[in-house]
Structure 1
Amino acid sequence: MAPPPRRGGMLASKARQRTPGHHYNASFLSAADRSEILQWLSTLKPLWEERYSKHFPPPPGQEQRRLLRPVYWLGNWQFACLDYYRPPKGVKDRCVRAEPFPPVLERQVKKVEELARRMFRGPDMPTGWHLNTCLVNFYGNRLEDGRWVDTARVGEHKDFEPGPVASLSLGERALIQFVTSTRPGERDEIVLEQWLDDGSLQLFGGARWKEQTFHRVQRVDTRAGHKMPPELPDFQTRRVNLTFRYVPDQHVTPFAQLSAEAREDVRPYMRTLAQGSAFFRAELEREKPAP
């Protein structure tokens, strides 16, 4: 694999020193906390999701597809087939209550929240903001038709949850880029790129990084030879990223209180999750009508 572009290091330095609204700490996690997170990861059974469902079918000309990687959510689960959380209109039946953070992540969240409240003010720090959502993304190689295919990337997107977003990275380093767009479907300029190292924290917020730019993961290295937990039969993980966001608590819905259509679409996923989680087994039990 070719060495990283030199300009990435230059931009990374600028990001640490002179980029308002963007913070990077390459050594945020202590060795003990990193080890505890890896132990917790080894207990997970990530979920493979399909993009569409019975009540949210593919657009004309498109077919059902599986996501590029397995995922896990904490706090609330934003199932792909419910089209994620997209305020102000896309808030109902989008965020399904999920497991709480384990203690090791609660400790990281507390530190990140303190940092974010020092960095952001006014409209960049919504009333009631707290990091109550975590998406765990597994990056690596997927087994397709008997061969391993590298799917360690994420295309241009925005995180629509209000307020600052934080991410912790473990395993191989990844190159994230923030890009501008002045016309739909076109990306004009890379305005910041940053290598995200093992044990690092990235924190960003404000209009510049949440509204005016998209971000994407261009590549994930293979140099260090990381093999990350948990063991999966059809996926080789070399990087894990935990992205922490804020969803207003009133928009997080217990499974039993979803609409009938939403429950039908995500019930198979809930049953799969329940095989390895007492929390999700209890959530399914609450759906049963009283005798």
Structure 2
Amino acid sequence: MPPPSRYGRGPGPKVRQRTPGHHYNGSFLPAADRAEILTWLATLKPLWEERYSKHFPPPPGQTQRRLLRPVYWLGNWQFACLDYYRPPKGVKDRCVRAEPFPPVLQRQVEKIEALARRMFRGPDMPPRWHLNTCLVNFYGSRLEDGRWVDTARVGEHKDFEPGPVASLSLGERALIQFVTSTRPGERDAVVLEQWLDDGSLELFGGVQWKEQTFHRVQRVDTREGHVLPPELPDFQTRRVNFTFRYVPDEHVIPFAKLSPEAREDVRPYMRTLAESSAFFRAELAREQSESNPSSPQTPAR
């Protein structure tokens, strides 16, 4: 589907600064860059991850479950079964080095970083902050027992990476809400809600949006009829979201440097990624080489 005519026009009426620490630009992404991103997306093979693993089993009373959507990570991969990145204590064996941003996304990152440095100062902007990790979420419907089930949502959560967070959206518009919590397990008041349009940028940071509130994706529209790449046998994507964050570089490690238990848990994922990625083939070869120094390293193809 061709992009709406508003792309590439510049800010216009869809740019708005609702409140300090939150910025929204509904026409951030130029048409040519949008098309280039879609071409790149078609080359990906996202992962379906399980929430738990052998060394990180389900809590008592819970069972293994697959995530609601396929995902891909750039910069570093935070596997669900390693419990993501949760400083101050949850930093070891959490962020596995992954593929760099493609040029078209790196261009967006440079613009976002410049904007963020104008918006945020002091404790809201860590000294070495730069956007070095990106979670690519695929929102849509999953094929279950012969029927399509809509799984396009995300529950209340916080992004624990320090500093501002940027969200770039493609496809159907999505409703994001920031909510407060006065008691564990309850989310009472919607502080801010925003429809995220195709080609839009949302940037947020500071104590209110990173620490005092949770955020969630309540729903994703279907009215525009977007179907986005890549083609997947059991999933139909109508929205793709890129969430850019900062992880201190010292906390990002190659697969070969993970603990033996963590490597065992995520090795099947690494092998799946290596089937279509020279980067991950090289990471597996590096682990083999470091484990067996006398054996020749298999070159990445």
Contact 1:16 1:22 in 2 (8 A): no
- Give the Cα–Cα distance (whole angstroms) in 2 for the partners of residues 17 and 249 of structure 1: 31
- Give the Cα–Cα distance (whole angstroms) in 2 for the partners of residues 74 and 48 of structure 1: 16
Sequence identity (%): 87
- Give the Cα–Cα distance (whole angstroms) in 1 for the partners of residues 148 and 221 of structure 2: 16
Note closer, same or farther for the CA distance 1:75–1:218 as it changes in structure 2 (3 Å cut): same
Note closer, same or farther for the CA distance 1:145–1:200 as it changes in structure 2 (3 Å cut): same
Aligned to 1:8: none
Aligned to 2:246: 246
Contact 2:14 2:25 in 1 (8 A): no
Contact 2:15 2:26 in 1 (8 A): no
Contact 1:166 1:204 in 2 (8 A): yes
Alignment-mate amino acid for residue 228 of structure 1: L
Alignment-mate amino acid for residue 100 of structure 1: P
Alignment pair present for 1:151 and 2:151: yes
Note closer, same or farther for the CA distance 1:96–1:17 as it changes in structure 2 (3 Å cut): closer
- Output one character per residue of 1:180-212: Cα deviation in whole Å (capped at 9) or x when no partner: 011111111001000000000000000000000
Q: 1:14 deviation in Å?
A: 12
- Give the Cα–Cα distance (whole angstroms) in 2 for the partners of residues 159 and 99 of structure 1: 21
Note closer, same or farther for the CA distance 1:18–1:170 as it changes in structure 2 (3 Å cut): closer
| Aligned residue pair count | 279
- Give the Cα–Cα distance (whole angstroms) in 2 for the partners of residues 261 and 187 of structure 1: 35
Q: Which protein, 1 or 2, shows the higher relative CO under an 8 Å CA cutoff with sep ≥ 6? A: 1
Alignment pair present for 1:166 and 2:166: yes
Alignment-mate amino acid for residue 275 of structure 2: Q
Alignment pair present for 1:283 and 2:283: yes
Note closer, same or farther for the CA distance 1:188–1:277 as it changes in structure 2 (3 Å cut): same
Aligned to 1:63: 63
Aligned to 2:5: none
Q: Taking structure 2 as the reference length, what is the TM-score of the superposition?
A: 0.92
- Give the Cα–Cα distance (whole angstroms) in 2 for the partners of residues 111 and 15 of structure 1: 15
- Give the Cα–Cα distance (whole angstroms) in 2 for the partners of residues 135 and 18 of structure 1: 25
Q: Give secondary structure in 1 for the equivalent of 2:159.
A: coil
Aligned to 1:90: 90
**Residue segments in structure 1 that go unaligned for 5+ positions in a row:** 1-12
Alignment-mate amino acid for residue 99 of structure 2: E
- Give the Cα–Cα distance (whole angstroms) in 2 for the partners of residues 221 and 14 of structure 1: 19
- Give the Cα–Cα distance (whole angstroms) in 2 for the partners of residues 246 and 62 of structure 1: 31
- Give the Cα–Cα distance (whole angstroms) in 2 for the partners of residues 37 and 194 of structure 1: 23
Q: 1:16 deviation in Å?
A: 2.4
- Give the Cα–Cα distance (whole angstroms) in 1 for the partners of residues 121 and 170 of structure 2: 29
- Give the Cα–Cα distance (whole angstroms) in 2 for the partners of residues 182 and 82 of structure 1: 28
Q: Taking structure 1 as the reference length, what is the TM-score of the superposition?
A: 0.95
- Give the Cα–Cα distance (whole angstroms) in 2 for the partners of residues 195 and 29 of structure 1: 16
Q: 1:15 deviation in Å?
A: 9.5
Q: 1:17 deviation in Å?
A: 3.7
Aligned to 1:226: 226
Q: 1:127 deviation in Å?
A: 1.1
- Give the Cα–Cα distance (whole angstroms) in 1 for the partners of residues 15 and 64 of structure 2: 39
Contact 1:15 1:22 in 2 (8 A): no
- Give the Cα–Cα distance (whole angstroms) in 1 for the partners of residues 249 and 110 of structure 2: 18
**Residue segments in structure 2 that go unaligned for 5+ positions in a row:** 1-12, 295-301
Runs of 4+ in structure 1 over 6 Å off: none
Alignment-mate amino acid for residue 158 of structure 1: K
Alignment pair present for 1:261 and 2:261: yes
Contact 2:163 2:206 in 1 (8 A): yes
- Give the Cα–Cα distance (whole angstroms) in 2 for the partners of residues 14 and 150 of structure 1: 28
Q: Comparing 154-163 with 17-26, which one deviates more in the overlay?
A: 17-26
Aligned to 2:136: 136
Contact 1:15 1:192 in 2 (8 A): no
- Give the Cα–Cα distance (whole angstroms) in 2 for the partners of residues 30 and 121 of structure 1: 28
Q: Comparing 42-51 with 14-23, which one deviates more in the overlay?
A: 14-23
Contact 1:174 1:217 in 2 (8 A): yes
Aligned to 1:124: 124
